[in-house]
Structure formats: structure tokens, C-alpha cells
């Protein structure tokens, strides 16, 4: 038997949700043929078989949450003719494997942090999750055992605590189940705020010079199949500023700050179920047209669900264009383990006083959320000022 294991899709993700199986036990499989869909908060990908054979036992069912390296299924080499285990036999065969995983030390980041904060070992808790995995509810229930019981009548009115999110639901309300993407986004946002002390600074950019250049070259770019957007200009200016302020293109470690040698630009893309963060690798090697084309490509692939794992890995700095939906200002949360994220507000005409005269200019609020462990205001303001200088002095040609 050949074991098919869950691959490592994203270095920052520790758990994956099994999606729909594309093959069933007994099916003959060709080498590199897709077997099952696997979901993360960022992408849905297909796991393939590296060799040909007959699909035998499926060990991971749709909806199961697994970690990289765990077994998805077993494949019989093509020259084997042994019968495929029947459903009851397969279920029986899985019992020992499940028993071994009870109270496993493989924990989600949220559970791991809760255990560490309260000095509790995972072995002290009986897990109720899949295959005995310890969940957040298990930890909370364990901690509640040692808390004094207070009757409802004894609660001080002024200090009446708000009900927890997992408490009894108001019968007039309804619960919307969390998708794997939404659950992972929620966990990442909480983890990011808990990890990095966020500070946000906001600048106003005047896009008058960019607008003039764009009006002059937009048609020529379109003739080459490239949509020239304001994001292309801002991305190019950001890349140039990252070169001048390498501390912004870094990662915090307890031993020191790692300055990234590559500039891999992440672009937040909103999709119906949440957000993707595809990466334009080696963004500093692109000119304006190249970046405009790359931005269009990652956006199309995101909306079409065609992103591959490599498209989502290795980002060193991220831009969030929340202004695409009309928002004029925002405070984006850092995409871990990066040092900062740029938020782009909607570009709109505003009245500006220039040389004591009134002018109407296309302007936008650009926010920069940064990790205060890595940089202070002098660096962050210098970084934003450099982007602003490039944007506002864009040459006509």
C-alpha cells in the first residue's frame, strides 16, 4: 500500500479542511491525477497521486481537519489485485488509528496559546474534537471547573458580563456556520493583533501627476492587454520605498530582525467567502507595465479560484486596497509574519490649497499599519513620505 499524505500548502497554516473527494475506493488512478480537494483560508487546491494505482482506503472524510503529513488515503499499486476494503472493514481498520490520536499534542495556535497562558498541559484535558483533539471549548470547560460558582441573583448589576459568543443563542437569531476560510481568517486576525503591537499612521496622497500619466498611457497599455490602474503606480512606488527603507521589508525574531533580501508584494483580494493574499514575487524586478499585468493576473486568478499554493507563499509586504469598495480610510491588520501593511483608501476629488490657490485634485488617504517592535514613527513616516514623494512627482513621460 502507498500512503497519500496531506502536503504542506502554506508555511503559515497548521490545519487544513478536507473538501470533496474526486475519486472513490476502487477507482483506478493515473499518476498526478487529482484525488481530493483541500481547503485553507486562502485557497482550495487539489491533492494528486504521485504514482498510478487503485484507490483503496479513504482515511480522511470531507470536513475533517488535518495537519500536514497526516494520511489522506492509501493507494494500491497498479499491479496489485487484492480486493478493496468494504465500508465496514475500512471503518473498523480506522479504529486503532483514531484511538492513538486521542489527546494528541497537535493543537491549533489558539488552543496552544490558551494552554501556555494558564499553565495547563494538553494531557490534562479530555478532547472532544475530531479524533480526540483538544478544542478551545475543551480548554474553557477545564478552566471553568476551578472557578467559584455564583448564582445569577448574586451578580452585581453594574458588572453583569456580556454573554460569550458560544453561549445560548437568542431564539430570534440564527447561526451562520463558519466556512474554513472565514474561520482561518478570524484566527489569523486575532493572532496578528496578539503578536504585533499595531500602530497606524495615515497620509493623504495627491494623485494628480499619476492621473495625468495614466490618461496619456492608458490606451497604449490596453492595446497590449494590460489594465493600467492606480494600484500599479502605488505598488511600484511602494517597492521603490521598500528598497530605501529595508526595515519595513522584514520579520521580527526574538534573536533579532530579519531583513528580507527579496521584495515579494502581497495584494489583498476580496472574494465572496473572504480574502485572498496572492503574492507578486520579485516585485522589484517589474516596471510599471509588468506590475500592472501581474496585479491583473493575480486578481483574475483569485476570483476564478485558480490560485496555486505557490501564489500565496513568500510575501514580505502587503497592500490592501479597501478603497475599491468606497472606503476612504482604514486600519488594516498586519499579514503575519510581515512587518507592515499598506491600506489604500478610495481616490476621490478634493479641494486642495496649492500656492494659495484652490484646486481640485484626485486624492486618497493611505494608511500604514506597522509592527512597533520593529520600527518607530521616524521609519514609518519616512517610508510613507517616500511613497508620497514618488506618487506626487510622477513624470509625465
How do residues 304-346 score in pLDDT, each as one tens digit?
A: 888 888 888 899 999 999 998 899 999 999 999 999 999 999 9
**pLDDT band with cut points at 50, 70 and 90 for residue 81:** very low
Residue 88 has pLDDT above 60, yes or no: no
Higher-confidence residue of 319 and 133: namely 319
The set of cell numbers assigned to 331 is 486600519
What is the phi/psi pair of residue 259, to 5°? Answer: -85, 120
Per-residue burial over 53-78, b if 16 or more Cβ lie within 10 Å, else e, is bbbbbbbbeeeebbbeebebbbbbee
Residue 363 has pLDDT above 80, yes or no: yes
Q: Regarding the domain delimited by 196-392, which CATH topology (the fold level of the hierarchy) does it fall under?
A: Chloramphenicol Acetyltransferase (3.30.559)
Q: Is 379 exposed, middle or buried (0-12, 13-18, 19+ CB in 10 A)?
A: middle
Q: Regarding the domain delimited by 2-100, which CATH topology (the fold level of the hierarchy) does it fall under?
A: OB fold (Dihydrolipoamide Acetyltransferase, E2P) (2.40.50)
Output the average pLDDT for the chain: 81
Residue 54 has pLDDT above 60, yes or no: yes
Q: Is 282 a catalytic residue?
A: no
Domain limits, CATH 3.30.559.10, in the chain: 196-392
Q: How far is C-alpha 6 from the chain's CA centre? A: 19
What is the pLDDT averaged over residues 295-307?
A: 89
Residue 145 has pLDDT above 70, yes or no: no
Most confident of 89-103, 162-176, 217-231: 217-231
Q: pLDDT tens across 182-210, in order?
A: 887 888 888 889 889 999 999 999 999 99
Report the pLDDT value the prediction gives residue 83, as an integer from 0 to 100: 47
Report the pLDDT value the prediction gives residue 163, as an integer from 0 to 100: 46
Report the pLDDT value the prediction gives residue 35, as an integer from 0 to 100: 84
Is CATH 3.30.70.80 the classification given to domain 109-178? no
Domain limits, CATH 4.10.320.10, in the chain: 109-178
Domain limits, CATH 2.40.50.100, in the chain: 2-100
The set of cell numbers assigned to 369 is 499599519
d(CA 104, CA 94): 16
Q: Is 376 a catalytic residue?
A: yes
Residue 112 has pLDDT above 70, yes or no: no
Residue 45 has pLDDT above 60, yes or no: yes
Report the pLDDT value the prediction gives residue 105, as an integer from 0 to 100: 42
d(CA 134, CA 102): 9
Residue 293 has pLDDT above 90, yes or no: yes
Residue 77 has pLDDT above 70, yes or no: yes
Least confident range from 24-33, 74-83, 216-225, 369-378: namely 74-83
Rounded percentage of the chain residues whose pLDDT exceeds 70: 79
Report the pLDDT value the prediction gives residue 187, as an integer from 0 to 100: 83
CB 334, CB 284: distance < 8 Å: no
**pLDDT band with cut points at 50, 70 and 90 for residue 7:** confident
User: Assign residue 157 a region: left if phi > 0, alpha if psi is -120 to 50, beta otherwise?
Assistant: alpha
d(CA 55, CA 74): 7
Question: Which one of the listed residues 118, 282, 359, 372 is annotated catalytic?
Answer: 372
Least confident range from 109-118, 250-259, 367-376: namely 109-118
What is the pLDDT averaged over residues 357-378?
A: 95
Whose CA is closest to 248, among 382, 366, 390? 382
How many Cβ atoms sit within 10 Å of the Cβ of residue 38? 23
Question: Which one of the listed residues 217, 281, 376, 381 is annotated catalytic?
Answer: 376
Report the pLDDT value the prediction gives residue 168, as an integer from 0 to 100: 61
What is the pLDDT averaged over residues 78-106?
A: 41
Amino acid at each position: 500500500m502507498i500512503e497519500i499524505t496531506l502536503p504542506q500548502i502554506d508555511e503559515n497554516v497548521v490545519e487544513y479542511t478536507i473538501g470533496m473527494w474526486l475519486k472513490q475506493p476502487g477507482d483506478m488512478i493515473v499518476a498526478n491525477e487529482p484525488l481530493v480537494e483541500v481547503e485553507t483560508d486562502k485557497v482550495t487546491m487539489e491533492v494528486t497521486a504521485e504514482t498510478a494505482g487503485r484507490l483503496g482506503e479513504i482515511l480522511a472524510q470531507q470536513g475533517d481537519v488535518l495537519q500536514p503529513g497526516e494520511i489522506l488515503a492509501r493507494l494500491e499499486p497498479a499491479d496489485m489485485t487484492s480486493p478493496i476494503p468494504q465500508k465496514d472493514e475500512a471503518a473498523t481498520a480506522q479504529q486503532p488509528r483514531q484511538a492513538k490520536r486521542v489527546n494528541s499534542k497537535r493543537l491549533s495556535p489558539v488552543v496552544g496559546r490558551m494552554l501556555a497562558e494558564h499553565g495547563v498541559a494538553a494531557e490534562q484535558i479530555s478532547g472532544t474534537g475530531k479524533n480526540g483533539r483538544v478544542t478551545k471549548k475543551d480548554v474553557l470547560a477545564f478552566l471553568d471547573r476551578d472557578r467559584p460558582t455564583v448564582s445569577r441573583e448574586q451578580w452585581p448589576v453594574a458588572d453583569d458580563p456580556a454573554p460569550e459568543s458560544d453561549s445560548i443563542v437568542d431564539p430570534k437569531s440564527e447561526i451562520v456556520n463558519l466556512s474554513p476560510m472565514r474561520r482561518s481568517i478570524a484566527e489569523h486576525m486575532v493572532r496578528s493583533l496578539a503578536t504585533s503591537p499595531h500602530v497606524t499612521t495615515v497620509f493623504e496622497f495627491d494623485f494628480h501627476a499619476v492621473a495625468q500619466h495614466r490618461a496619456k498611457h492608458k490606451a497604449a497599455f490596453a492595446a497590449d492587454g494590460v489594465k493600467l490602474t492606480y494600484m500599479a503606480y502605488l505598488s511600484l512606488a511602494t517597492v521603490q520605498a521598500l528598497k530605501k527603507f529595508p526595515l519595513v521589508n522584514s520579520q521580527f525574531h526574538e534573536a533579532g530582525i530579519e531583513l528580507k533580501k527579496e521584495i515579494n508584494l502581497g495584494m489583498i483580494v476580496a472574494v465572496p467567502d473572504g480574502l485572498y493574499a496572492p503574492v507578486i514575487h520579485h516585485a522589484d524586478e517589474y516596471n510599471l507595465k509588468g506590475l500592472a499585468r501581474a496585479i491583473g493576473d493575480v486578481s483574475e486568478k483569485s476570483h476564478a479560484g485558480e490560485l496555486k499554493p505557490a501564489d500565496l507563499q513568500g510575501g514580505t509586504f502587503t497592500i490592501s486596497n479597501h478603497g475599491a469598495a468606497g472606503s476612504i480610510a482604514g486600519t488594516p491588520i498586519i499579514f503575519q509574519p510581515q512587518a507592515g501593511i499598506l491600506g489604500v483608501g478610495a481616490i476621490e476629488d478634493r479641494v486642495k490649497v496649492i500656492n494659495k490657490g484652490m484646486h481640485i485634485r484626485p486624492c486618497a488617504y493611505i494608511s500604514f499599519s506597522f509592527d512597533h517592535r520593529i520600527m518607530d514613527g521616524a521609519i514609518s513616516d519616512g517610508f510613507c513620505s517616500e511613497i508620497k514623494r514618488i506618487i506626487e512627482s510622477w513624470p509625465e513621460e
